[in-house]
Structure 1
Amino acid sequence: MPSTTVVVVTWRGREHITACLDALARQRPHRTLVVDNASDDGTAALLAAHPSRPEVLRLPVNRGYAGGLAAALPSVTTRYVAWLNDDAVPADDWLATLEDALDATPDAAAATPSLLLADGSTQSVGVRLTADGHGADLAVAGGEVFGFCGGAALLRREALERAGGVPAAFFCYYEDTDTAWRLRLAGHRVLSVGAARVHHRHGASTKPGSRPFHRWNERNRLLMLLRCAPPAVAARELARFAAVTALLPVRRDRPDAANFHVPLRLRVLLEVLGRLPAALVQRRRVGRRATVSRHAVWREWAGRPGRAEA
């Protein structure tokens, strides 16, 4: 039996998913499960015709990356589960390198590779936690990091399930950093494994910098903090977001980026407030599962570059 199920979530991925599947066919033996988020561009026919014959879970509506991962998890029974973007092309030894790293480190629940952009530059070798609660990509590999980039990571299935699975309601973005938070609260480590390499067409489906991109990022960061962070941190960041939004109309030096447009920020605030009761219920569940305090995780990781250099 293989050790890993690789879950590839796709939406209108006809133009790029073939390269991903071709690369998976060259990996160590594993199970490939493609979650098709109701693609309408011919992706379904392409998947059916691919020589690797991946298993396909076709959803009736687009549930996003987080929703697709969450939909796949109940059918995963292998020791590990890999998250892989449909526009990612892993090197031939990517899976073997990540599996070997987790096999050798029993207290680690996730391993993150080197994600490389089309020009060969580094997109991410892991995620750090900023002083204001953002998840930010790291560029120096090796050792331990706060979290992982969900575009091409390997996780222990049982640890993920015990930590509460994947936050499907996030749709996309911050599902990885939220998951890393909960794994850390459960006492697990996250490894940066630079020797495992993946080339990534960053944002092939979601267009970084677009209004939906910023909406999901801003909303999900605040929801993640409400679920996982110390209460003072979550309250401070929600209040800061609201205050900046209120002051933007009178600022002469207002940035032009989409995440500083008042209508978008008001929509984010309304969505967060609408989801606040559910987030607080989820917060209690996260707290009941935790073996490490929220304050301890925050003190160790917030505002630090990571321990990749250690």
Structure 2
Amino acid sequence: MLAVTEVSSTVVVVTWRGAGQITACLDALAAQDRPHRTLVVDNASDDGTARLLAGHPSQPRVVRLPRNAGYAGAMAAALSLVDTPLMAWLNDDAEPEPGWLGALEDALGPAAAASSRLNRPDGTPQCVGVRLTADGYGADTLDTPAFGFCGGAALLRADVLREIGGVPAGFFCYYEDTDTAWRLRLAGHDIVTVPEARVTHRHGVSTRPGSRQFHLWNERNRLLTLVRCAPAWVVLRELARFAAITALLPLRRNVPEGANFRIALRVRVLTEVLVRVPAALRDRRAITRRSTVRRGQVWRHWARR
């Protein structure tokens, strides 16, 4: 009689208009050498993605949301459906190597999360995790150990993720990984970096890095992550700095070309942050109650690296 192999992980793939890449992603998951469940959250795609999902030989479980909730919203929805101990996050533009999931599971140990090595399609490395900069940005890094994981391909303990408050669904897209990693650190958990867990990542297929919308999400969610997780003096400094740069831009002669230096976008960022501050402060208090490590300690250890 053959023994039944226990499944430890559910791999959650979030897709939106992913017809151009979802098949390759699912093919790569079907080739994994570690048993797992696959859950695809479809953010109301209208480009034929649903047909491809229904016809894929791996027969993944598919949950179709009534509207596009973004990567963060879709992951938050998936968390309530995961019934395995571990939950893997995977972008639909990522293709993991056959040993990817096994390497993450084997390296996790007592840690709460494990970060993969993401490579660009030409084979050059994108990152092995996320570092925390001196001004509170979460940035790709090739250094180990990393402050956090890249949400494009990572493994987390589902129960711990629920205990620290889940996924910040309101972020829509970007910084849900940095915010989650920060809360894990505050709660006293470790995050391991697993360079052997390799993924080819076609970064930004859906979100167009450098676009106006990208910078809106990026700047807004950085500031909200700081309100939720950073020491108070860092929060006040970065909010004041962002507002001051915005106010002084009309007086500058040589304004950088990036969309994040357009006054209208920065005003919108500030407006959206101010609207969300009351909820973020409530979240901050809840995060404080769950914390075992002081905010200043996490900041001193990880910022500026």
TM-score w.r.t. the length of structure 2 is 0.97
Question: Where do 1:1-310 residues align within 5 Å?
Answer: 1-27=6-32, 28-102=34-108, 105-106=109-110, 108-140=111-143, 143-304=144-305
Task: Give me the whole-angstrom Cα distance separating, in 1, the residues matched to 2:145 and 2:290.
Answer: 23
1:41-61 per-residue CA deviation (whole Å, 9 max, x = no partner) reads 010011000000000010000
Deviation at 1:144, TM superposition (A): 2.5
Task: Give me the whole-angstrom Cα distance separating, in 2, the residues matched to 1:144 and 1:78.
Answer: 27
Task: Give me the whole-angstrom Cα distance separating, in 2, the residues matched to 1:148 and 1:251.
Answer: 37
Task: Give me the whole-angstrom Cα distance separating, in 2, the residues matched to 1:178 and 1:129.
Answer: 11
Aligned alpha-carbon RMSD (Å): 0.7
Query: 1:3·1:79 contact (CA, 8 Å) conserved in 2?
Result: yes
Query: 1:128·1:301 contact (CA, 8 Å) conserved in 2?
Result: yes
1:116-149 per-residue CA deviation (whole Å, 9 max, x = no partner) reads 0011111110111000000111124xx5321010
Three-state SS of the structure 2 residue aligned to 1:176 is helix
Three-state SS of the structure 2 residue aligned to 1:300 is helix
Task: Give me the whole-angstrom Cα distance separating, in 2, the residues matched to 1:79 and 1:286.
Answer: 22
% identical aligned pairs = 69
Q: Which runs of 5+ in 1 are unaligned?
A: 305-310
Query: 1:6·1:33 contact (CA, 8 Å) conserved in 2?
Result: yes
Task: Give me the whole-angstrom Cα distance separating, in 2, the residues matched to 1:276 and 1:126.
Answer: 28
1:222-278 per-residue CA deviation (whole Å, 9 max, x = no partner) reads 000000000110111011000000001110111010000000000000000010111
Task: Give me the whole-angstrom Cα distance separating, in 1, the residues matched to 2:83 and 2:240.
Answer: 42
Task: Give me the whole-angstrom Cα distance separating, in 2, the residues matched to 1:58 and 1:206.
Answer: 20
Matching residue's letter, 2:236: A
Matching residue's letter, 2:221: N
Three-state SS of the structure 2 residue aligned to 1:266 is helix
Deviation at 1:287, TM superposition (A): 0.5
Q: Which runs of 5+ in 2 are unaligned?
A: 1-5
Deviation at 1:189, TM superposition (A): 1.0
Three-state SS of the structure 1 residue aligned to 2:112 is strand
Three-state SS of the structure 2 residue aligned to 1:144 is coil
1:19-45 per-residue CA deviation (whole Å, 9 max, x = no partner) reads 000000011110100000000001001
Task: Give me the whole-angstrom Cα distance separating, in 1, the residues matched to 2:193 and 2:139.
Answer: 14
Task: Give me the whole-angstrom Cα distance separating, in 2, the residues matched to 1:195 and 1:151.
Answer: 16
Task: Give me the whole-angstrom Cα distance separating, in 2, the residues matched to 1:88 and 1:121.
Answer: 14
Matching residue's letter, 1:16: Q
Q: Which residue of 2 aligns with 1:307?
A: none
Query: 1:144·1:189 contact (CA, 8 Å) conserved in 2?
Result: no
TM-score w.r.t. the length of structure 1 is 0.95
Three-state SS of the structure 1 residue aligned to 2:80 is helix
